[in-house]
Amino acid sequence: MLPEVANAALQPVIARANIALERGQAASTIDLLAPLHRTPPSSLTRDDEWGLRVMLVESYLLQGDLAQCARSVSVGTFRKVRRKLLGKFYQSR
């Protein structure tokens, strides 16, 4: 029950960050999401965590900060995601 409450509390912040990102305001998006990214993973659902990471990566790319972009997604995580995406890609052919 507690994670559902936490996720509901995060939705307004994520919505504001998404609006800022759509407007090209990468710095505002990072300011809103960076504290959430540092929270313990157990307080976020997997979908929320990935959505947060994707928005942070896009924001860092808009700023041209590839180092921060890479730090937002760990190497191990990137490899897992890449395997899943490539597997889905080859299955669809």
- Reported as type and span, the H/E element at residue 74 is none
Average pLDDT, the chain: 76
What would the mean pLDDT of 17-39 be, rounded to a whole number?
Answer: 89
More confident of the two residues 6 and 61: 61
Distance CA(33)–CA(66), nearest Å, equals: 17
Residue 34 pLDDT grade (very low, low, confident, very high; cuts 50, 70, 90): confident
Model pLDDT for residues 41-58, shown as the tens digit of each residue? 667 777 778 888 888 889
Q: Which letter, b or e, does each residue of 74-90 get, where b requires 16 or more Cβ atoms within 10 Å of its Cβ?
A: eeeeeeeeeeeeeeeee
Report the alpha-carbon distance of residue 68 to residue 53 in Å, rounded.
11
List, in sequence order, every beta strand (DSSP E) within the chain: none
Q: How confident is the model at residue 71 (pLDDT cuts 50, 70, 90)?
A: confident
Average pLDDT estimate for 72-92: 62
What spatial distance separates the first Cα and last Cα of the chain, rounded to whole Å?
A: 41
